[in-house]
Structure 1
Amino acid sequence: MKCACGRESVYYQRYANRWLCEDCFKKDVEKRVRKVLGREVIRNNVKIGVGISGGKDSLVMTYILKKFYDSIPNSEIICFFVDEGIKGFRDVAKKYVVEFCKEFDIDLRIISFKEEINYTMDELVEKNYLKHLNIGKPCSFCGVVRRYLLNKYAFLNNCTYLAIGHNLDDFCQTILMNYIEGNVKNIIQFGKDVSSSTNFVKRIKPLKLIPEEEVILYAKLNNLKYQKEPCPYSHLSYRYKIKKIIEMLEEDKPGVRFGILRGYESLLKLIEYREGNLKKCKICGSLCSGELCKVCSWLEILKGL
């Protein structure tokens, strides 16, 4: 089939019912990323911290951000790679990240679970320490601590924004998980992503409008090498089941992912966000409802084991 421009197509966009050639496909993806970021983010005098994992999403996101900011004066990109200490998985990811950052001349900082919290993720699972924290799945601990560390180092490096590689599918998964669990607080905080905390770096999610399959194709067309193997703990997560449900819905009704996102964002406009009576964590200074934030309270428990 032919693209609208007359060239041979490489991709059929089911939800838009159109065929795209390689050039038009790349431009379409980049146009949507630019739309998400807007002029507030794509400007000079900006330092973007990037959470990079070695997977397709974070590498595609970083590649596009680098492309945007190369021609913008007084702008900078710095990557943060969190090594959770998952044997046979993170070492492979680190190799891809180091090679990628070297190729594109991007500053890279590696953050270690072992150095930061005194345990690797493997050690926490093998010693069954998560049960002492009342955590059922490894991802529930890992995800929270990773976000905490990324924000910590983005703040320490004076970043204006912290870029997270969540694609459209990731957004829909989180939205549905929060709906199903009735987690109203997370529903609001995930969408508005605001905080009055002085050590909170505002997050941006450039791939919000890019479906997972288009991230994969964009990486392929730009010869980006990334880790394809999933985390060995990911199949245990609730998110994995939600992912399969959304894939089934999208297959039956192309465009349902955009519908989930649009409906959610429309709902957020009707909700007034209030942080409530929050305190500062006595250890790290982050805003929290008690004396300690979730991460610091976990680490205090782990110290006593």
Structure 2
Amino acid sequence: MEVCSICKEEEPIYYQRHSGLKFCRECFIKYIKKKVRKTLGKKIIKQNVKIGMGLSGGKDSLVMAYLLREYYDPIPNSEIIGLIVDEGIEGFRKRGIKIAVEFCKKYDIPYYIDTFEDHIGYTLDRIVERAKEKNITANPCTFCGIIRRRILNSMALERSCNYLAIGHNLDDVAQAVMMNYIEGDIKKLVILGKSIEHPKFVRRIKPLKYIPEIEVKLFADLVGIKYHSEPCPYSSLSYRNEISEILNLLEKKHPGKKYSIVAGFERLVKYLPLEKDKSICKYCGNPSASGICKVCEILRRLDII
């Protein structure tokens, strides 16, 4: 009988292709908990820290919240809160929000819900319609990502959070790196790898950035986390989805390449300077690389402002 590579006793339930290790249920759970704790480190897991967690109801954000709660529960004068954004996607978003709220109630996590409509007067569905009316070909995910990040930052800022935790896993980070490599967007690469220091910007952390998506899902299933598994109806249209398929094929043929992409990027980004933008958007007052931030640029193109 095969046995777990770690405890040498129990039957394995997961084979990690890039390392050749076999994990039993308990050893796999311990492995994930230890790895995420190491990713965060003592500078973040400490007293007097307040973390806002972007929660969608999907497996990634809820696994992140599950782990952060476990790490911070024993620590005095620390707090985690759930930040939920309703983008306004008919027939999809409400189900994810319901699951996120149920999770927060189960684990006594304070939570707050904000909407696209409250912030900009339009749901994402209406923004997509508006873009079609204006013959703007940008992908819905582009609109969503930029606006959602702004709302989460505002929510975290309003509640005096020290950090904004995002549930991006290894696959997500590798995809983002490759998308920006392919586009030759050095500035976005630097922002992806370095923290922006600004009084109106809450520093991001990505606790799951070294955990592959398949392992996040397995962890969620093993510990019994109920999550929203239905894909966003707009995701199949995204450029990111194409990159994901390419990277999955590469990983299948050459296990560990997603780790290599992220590790290589992190070594490279140390040598790239982070430009300190001093411009302020003339419409919303937020920091911007130019006189108009990306959110307001989108809204102007759509004739919303």
TM-score w.r.t. the length of structure 1 is 0.95
- Say if 1:130 and 1:90 are closer, same or farther in 2 by CA, change over 3 A: farther
In the other structure, the counterpart of 1:159 is 161
- Say if 1:204 and 1:118 are closer, same or farther in 2 by CA, change over 3 A: same
Among the aligned pairs, what percent are the same residue? 49
In the other structure, the counterpart of 1:204 is 205
Contact 1:139 1:234 in 2 (8 A): yes
In the other structure, the counterpart of 1:50 is 53
Deviating beyond 4 angstroms after TM superposition, the runs of 4 or more aligned structure 1 residues are 129-132, 300-305
Distance 1:136 1:257 in 2: 27
Per the TM alignment, residue 303 of structure 1 is displaced from its structure 2 partner at its CA by 5.1
Distance 1:89 1:142 in 2: 14
Q: Which amino acid aligns with 1:254?
A: P
Name stretches of at least 5 consecutive residues in structure 1 with no aligned partner: none
In the other structure, the counterpart of 1:214 is 215
Per the TM alignment, residue 304 of structure 1 is displaced from its structure 2 partner at its CA by 5.0
Distance 2:13 2:48 in 1: 37
- The number of residue pairs the alignment matches comes to 302
Per the TM alignment, residue 131 of structure 1 is displaced from its structure 2 partner at its CA by 4.3
In the other structure, the counterpart of 1:270 is 271
Q: Which amino acid aligns with 2:237?
A: L
In the other structure, the counterpart of 1:286 is 286
- Say if 1:227 and 1:267 are closer, same or farther in 2 by CA, change over 3 A: same
**Where do residues 95-114 of structure 1 align in structure 2 (5 Å cutoff)?**
95-114=98-117
Q: Which amino acid aligns with 2:75?
A: I
Contact 1:135 1:141 in 2 (8 A): no
- Among candidates 79, 82, 92, match of residue 79 of structure 1: 82
Deviates more, 1:49-58 or 1:118-127: 118-127
Per the TM alignment, residue 130 of structure 1 is displaced from its structure 2 partner at its CA by 7.7
Matched, 1:136 2:138: yes
Contact 1:57 1:215 in 2 (8 A): yes
Contact 1:57 1:165 in 2 (8 A): yes
Contact 1:161 1:202 in 2 (8 A): yes
Contact 1:155 1:199 in 2 (8 A): yes
- Say if 1:126 and 1:281 are closer, same or farther in 2 by CA, change over 3 A: closer
Task: Give CA-to-partner distance per residue, 1:204-236, whole Å, 9 cap, x none.
Answer: 000011000000000000110111111000000
Contact 2:164 2:203 in 1 (8 A): yes
Task: Give CA-to-partner distance per residue, 1:114-141, whole Å, 9 cap, x none.
Answer: 1111111111223435846x55100000
Task: Give CA-to-partner distance per residue, 1:35-74, whole Å, 9 cap, x none.
Answer: 1111110001000000000100000000000010000000
In the other structure, the counterpart of 1:184 is 186
| Superposition CA RMSD, Å | 1.5
Q: Which amino acid aligns with 1:168?
A: L
- Among candidates 109, 125, 136, match of residue 122 of structure 1: 125
TM-score w.r.t. the length of structure 2 is 0.95
